[in-house]
Amino acid sequence: MTQDELKQAVARAAIDYVVEGEIIGVGTGSTANFFIDELAKIKDSIKGTVASSEATAARLRGHGIPVFDLNEVDSIAVYIDGADEITDEGAMIKGGGAALTREKIVASVSKQFVCIADGSKLVPTLGNFPLPVEVIPMARAAVIRQLAALGGQPRLRTKPDSTDAFITDNGGEIIDVAGLAIADPVALETQINGIVGVIAVGLFAQRGANVCLLGTADGVKTLAF
Ligand code: 5RP
C-alpha cells in the first residue's frame, strides 16, 4: 500500500469516531484532507465543524460542511487530526503544516483527540522530525537563541522557493528545531511554552492523543492511551 492509501484507510476508519449531531474538530494536512473528504459523505449527520486552519475551513466549505467559529461553540465532541510523529504513549509532534497553534486550541476544547497517521509516524522517541515552534515575528532572533541553548538547531521556515519567512494564519513565523531527542515531551513543552515570544510549540504531550488510528500493511491498528 502507498502512504496515501494508508492515510485514506485511517481517514475512513476515523468516521467511526464522529459523533452524530455534534460539532467535530478538524485538523490540517494531507491525512486530515482525506478525512474531510470522508466526512463530506456523512455531512448531514453532524451539526458542523471547527477548523484548525484557513485551508481546512476552505476544504470543508467546499464540501458544503458548516464551519463554526470556535467562539460560537461550547464544546467539541472529538478532534480528528494527523501528526508528524507519535509515540506509543500518545505524545506527538505536529505543525509540519504550520497549523500547530490553532490545532492546539481546537484540541484543548475537544473531549477526545483521535490521531490519524500512517505507520511511519510511530516513533520510539520524538525529535527526528524538526520540532515546529510558532513565534511572534519581532521575537524571532531572541527565541532562536534560546532554542539553540536547548541543544537543537533552530531554523526559520521560509516560503517555498523563497528566503522570505513563512507566515502562519495567525501572522506568526515558524522556527523548526532539528536535532532534539525529546526524552520528556511534557517537560520540554512546558519549557518552550515559557519562552517569551513563543505563541505555541508543536509538542502535543500535555494534551496528547486519546486514540491513534495507525495505517499499516496489516490494516488499521487502534492504539488507545
Ligand atoms: C499540520 C499538522 C499535520 O497534522 C502534520 O503535519 C501531518 O501532516 P500529514 O497528514 O500531511 O502527514 O500538524 O500542522
- Ligand 1 centroid to 155 CA: how many Å? 19
- State residue 177's pLDDT score: 98
- State residue 187's pLDDT score: 98
Q: Indicate the pTM of the whole model.
A: 0.96
What HEC string does the chain produce?
Answer: CCHHHHHHHHHHHHHHHCCCCCEEEECCCHHHHHHHHHHHHCHHHCCEEEECCHHHHHHHHHCCCCECCHHHCCCEEEEEECCCEECCCCCEECCCCCCHHHHHHHHHCEEEEEEEEEHHHECCCECCCCEEEEECHHHHHHHHHHHHHCCCEEEECECCCCCCECECCCCCEEEEEECCCECCHHHHHHHHHCCCCEEEECEECCCCCCEEEEEECCEEEEEEC
134 classed as catalytic:
no
Pocket flag, ligand 1, residue 31 (CB < 6 Å): yes
Pocket flag, ligand 1, residue 176 (CB < 6 Å): no
Pocket flag, ligand 1, residue 102 (CB < 6 Å): no
- State residue 181's pLDDT score: 82
Between CA 153 and CA 103 the distance in angstroms is: 24
- State residue 158's pLDDT score: 98
Q: Tens digits of per-residue pLDDT, 106-125?
A: 999 999 999 999 999 999 99
The segments of the chain whose pLDDT lies below 70 read none
- Ligand 1 centroid to 94 CA: how many Å? 6
